[in-house]
Structure 1
């Protein structure tokens, strides 16, 4: 089943890992069982009142490099990672 990024202006989609513009794009589920961290994710997305489901994801484009660990050549999202890279409100309306 394809995965889609839950950020409104983001058009990244693919399987568990995808290549777009020679970048490796990966998708990560929302931390539904870590309420304080989940609140930070949603607040940074600026989607107040929106509640993600277990079938929604954010793509790797919304995390800084220090949010990842690399083990055995595989990139893992740290369990403390908070997404912080999002398009500005103006960029959303231009699309």
Structure 2
């Protein structure tokens, strides 16, 4: 679990750097990928606090996680994930 905790901290550091670097690009949709990272990191953190291996066991999203992911997805792609379809 110690390795997972270290990995979680590194992911947080990378997300912070992404936030700083992406803010200078001028593309709000690209910068919004940080929101997706935050939800993922929060979910991993919750699993770890419950003594679960978020890599081997996967993530178990709550209804709130799904809503946050849909909101973040919409900020990035302009539509909710359940409305994202291939172009014709």
Q: TM-score range by the shorter chain?
A: under 0.3
Q: Answer 1 or 2: which has greater helix percent.
A: 2
Which structure would you say has the larger Rg? 2
Please report the TM-score for the alignment, with normalisation by the length of structure 1: 0.24
